[in-house]
Each structure stands twice: as structure tokens, then as C-alpha cells.
């Protein structure tokens, strides 16, 4: 893995294609035709898009990444089948780009295997995808890349350098998760101790009251005196309504809810050209807030019934984000249209 092919040898890194591939990693504006109408893609269509990844002459080569990202988790098994150390480098490289944006944990094993590919571009893409997937199983493999991989991409990026950045990111996530678990345990322990103390206090008070109940001590225990009322209480007059006044139900704000159909990324803006800020899981309750004019993306927030792993960490603190309409159930009522404002989302420097 440390011996890179020289330019004058037979190399899987022809410079024109490499420059084209490098440009694919830059942010791209979402196309008006993406994603397509909600439907389940056929295996043959997914296979055609995967073939287009590594074929610059294929008519769908330039849109294959975006269309596979729009398909989402349904395309992950087929993508994993072509991500390996002995597959054509351009196909594997662009497949890692798709898997990085989908963020499905099923891709962890194939991406780790791709770290042994002879092409540095592929190894760089696999490291970046592992950082986006966020599976801690990749920590050991990434440490090995940091220690042994001396390769650089065709545009000059160090594979070991991006692996170190991925390690730092995964370690921060792991420490944060452990801290959350410790905080949860501490809170549960405190609540349990307070509940036990309160229960013992209530039981002691009740026992004392029962001991004194029905006991009469002459000269110490006073019998209650019955006092009869001297006047009849008057009824409080009921308010009357004017002739033109009616009583009706008060208006309420309708909450439009739905359900996540599968694991999906939540993004700060509609489209797949921005990094995810959250994730929802199949069966999560979601609340629809708005939609794009073409109805392809919904602005949502999480409901009460959700997976512990689900979260939306919007930089503006609103707890909302955009998700593709193919990944959630249709809303039960019409959702208002909202054109999103541009936001700045911090990205990890490779």
C-alpha cells in the first residue's frame, strides 16, 4: 500500500480522468430534475448507474452520483459489491463518494477493504467515506493507514493526513457518546435515590398516622365539633350569552405528522450537495413543517416516538432539517411551501 505507481508506468490514475474526478468532490448545485418522482428503482437501473460511475463515456456518468444518492439505502448493497481492493479505481472512487453521502453503516466492511486498493485516490475516498459513516469499527484500520500509507492522490492530498483527520473526528464522537451515557447513568441514579428517600419518608409518615388513627385519650384528644350553617348558600349566577353570541370550539394549530420509512440523512438545505446534520431511523415519528415548491424535500423535526440514535443538530438551533420525500411517509395534510435560506455548515478539513 505504500508503493505508488509512477507516472511512466501503467497506472490506474490517468491525469485527465483524475482531474475530472477531483472536480466531482467539489460542492455541486442540485439539479431541478433530482430527485425523481417517488418510486422503487429496479435492480437493473441501479446496476446501470453503478456502471456509469466508472465510464466517462456513459450518457449518465455525470449524474450517476447524484441519482444514486437520491435512491439512498436501497442502492447500498449494490454499491458495496463494487467497492473492493481489486475493482476498477474510478468505479470504486465514485462509489465511495456516494456511500459517504448516504452514510449507511452497512458500507463499513467494504470501505475498510478498499483501504488496500493500489490507487491512492480510492484509499483517500474510502477514508473520507468511513469518516462520514461514523462506525467506530473503522478506528483500527484508520490507525494502520496513518502509520503505513505514504501515498498521495493525483491532486496532491495525503492519504495518511485525511486518515488522521477521520480518526480525530471518530474519537470525538466516541468520547461524546460515552460522556452522554455517563450523564444518563448519573441522572438515573440521582432520580432513583430521591425516589427511595421520598418513599421512605411517605411510608414513615403514613405509619405514624395509622398508629394515631382511632386512638382517644381523655383530656388530650378533642372530638370534632359539628357546625351547621345558619344561612343557605346562594348559587353563583351563570353567565348569559347575548342574542348574537355563540359558543364554539376554539381554533387549534394542526400538527402534521408522518413516519420515517428507512434510515435517512437530514440536511441543512434541500439537495445532496451539503453535509448531513442529523439522521432519522425507520419508524421515527416526524413533524412536517414546510416543503419545497416542487414537493421533493420536506422540512421536518423529530416527534416524541423516535429511536435513541435519531437526532437533528441544525447549526441555527431550531432542531429542524430537510429530508427527501422518498424517505418518509406522505403528510396527512397540505404542508406550506418554504424556500430555504442559505446557511453555512462547517465541514471537516481532510
In order of their start, the domains of the chain are 17-172 (1.25.10.10), 256-327 (2.30.30.40)
Cα–Cα distance for residue pair 134/173, rounded to 1 Å: 8
Pick the more confident residue, 342 or 326.
326
Weakest-pLDDT range from 22-31, 164-173, 211-220, 294-303: 22-31
Q: How confident is the model at residue 16 (pLDDT cuts 50, 70, 90)?
A: very low
Q: What's the pLDDT score for residue 230?
A: 58
Q: What's the pLDDT score for residue 30?
A: 36
Candidates 90, 160, 97, 88; CA nearest to 132 is 97
Average pLDDT across the chain, whole number: 77
| Maximum mean pLDDT: which of 98-107, 185-194, 205-214 | 98-107
Residues 6+ apart with CB under 8 A from 74: 40, 41, 46
Give the tens place of pLDDT for each residue, 22-39: 333 333 333 333 444 345
Does residue 132 sit in helix, strand or coil? helix
Cα–Cα distance for residue pair 131/173, rounded to 1 Å: 10
pTM (two decimals): 0.42
Give the tens place of pLDDT for each residue, 233-287: 565 666 555 555 555 555 556 788 989 988 889 999 988 888 898 999 988 998 9
Taking each helix axis from N to C terminus, what angle separates 139-148 and 120-133, rounded to the nearest 10 degrees? 150
Taking each helix axis from N to C terminus, what angle separates 64-71 and 89-102, rounded to the nearest 10 degrees? 40
Q: What's the pLDDT score for residue 69?
A: 93
Q: How confident is the model at residue 192 (pLDDT cuts 50, 70, 90)?
A: confident
Percent of the chain with pLDDT over 70: 71
Residues 6+ apart with CB under 8 A from 130: 108, 111, 112, 138, 141, 142, 166
Cα–Cα distance for residue pair 125/51, rounded to 1 Å: 18
Q: What's the pLDDT score for residue 252?
A: 53
Taking each helix axis from N to C terminus, what angle separates 120-133 and 89-102, rounded to the nearest 10 degrees? 10
For residue 320, cis peptide bond before it (omega within 30 degrees of 0): no
Amino acid at each position: 500500500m505504500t508503493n505508488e505507481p509512477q507516472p511512466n508506468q501503467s497506472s490506474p490514475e490517468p491525469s485527465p480522468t483524475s482531474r475530472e474526478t477531483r472536480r466531482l468532490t467539489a460542492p455541486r448545485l442540485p439539479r431541478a430534475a433530482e430527485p425523481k418522482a417517488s418510486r422503487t428503482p429496479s435492480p437493473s437501473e441501479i446496476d446501470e448507474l453503478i456502471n456509469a460511475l466508472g465510464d466517462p463515456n456513459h450518457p449518465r456518468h455525470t449524474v450517476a452520483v447524484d441519482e444514486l444518492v437520491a435512491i439512498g439505502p436501497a442502492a447500498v448493497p449494490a454499491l458495496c459489491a463494487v467497492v473492493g481492493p481489486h475493482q476498477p479505481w474510478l468505479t470504486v472512487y465514485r462509489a465511495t463518494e456516494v456511500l459517504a453521502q448516504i452514510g449507511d453503516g452497512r458500507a463499513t466492511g467494504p470501505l475498510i477493504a478498499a483501504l488496500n486498493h493500489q490507487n491512492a485516490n480510492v484509499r483517500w475516498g474510502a477514508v473520507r467515506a468511513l469518516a462520514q459513516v461514523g462506525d467506530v469499527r473503522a478506528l483500527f484500520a484508520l490507525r494502520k493507514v496513518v502509520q503505513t500509507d505514504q501515498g498521495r492522490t493525483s491532486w496532491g492530498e495525503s492519504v495518511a493526513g485525511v486518515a488522521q483527520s477521520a480518526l480525530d473526528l471518530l474519537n470525538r464522537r466516541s468520547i461524546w457518546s460515552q460522556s452522554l451515557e455517563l450523564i444518563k447513568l448519573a441522572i438515573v441514579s440521582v432520580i432513583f435515590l430521591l425516589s427511595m428517600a421520598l418513599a421512605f419518608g411517605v411510608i414513615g409518615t403514613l405509619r405514624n398516622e395509622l398508629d394515631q388513627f382511632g386512638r382517644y385519650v381523655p383530656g388530650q384528644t378533642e372530638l370534632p365539633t359539628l357546625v351547621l350553617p345558619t344561612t343557605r348558600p346562594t348559587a353563583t349566577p351563570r353567565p348569559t350569552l347575548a342574542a348574537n353570541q355563540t359558543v364554539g370550539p376554539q381554533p387549534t394549530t394542526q400538527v402534521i405528522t408522518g413516519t420515517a420509512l428507512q434510515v435517512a440523512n437530514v440536511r441543512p438545505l434541500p439537495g445532496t450537495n451539503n453535509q448531513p446534520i442529523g439522521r432519522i431511523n425507520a419508524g421515527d415519528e416526524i413533524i412536517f413543517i414546510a416543503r419545497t415548491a416542487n414537493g421533493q424535500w420536506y422540512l421536518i423535526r423529530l416527534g416524541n416516538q423516535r429511536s435513541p440514535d435519531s437526532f437533528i443538530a441544525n447549526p441555527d438551533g431550531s432542531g429542524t432539517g430537510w429530508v427527501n420525500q422518498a424517505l418518509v411517509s406522505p403528510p396527512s395534510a397540505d404542508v406550506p411551501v418554504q424556500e430555504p435560506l442559505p446557511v453555512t455548515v462547517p465541514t471537516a478539513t481532510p
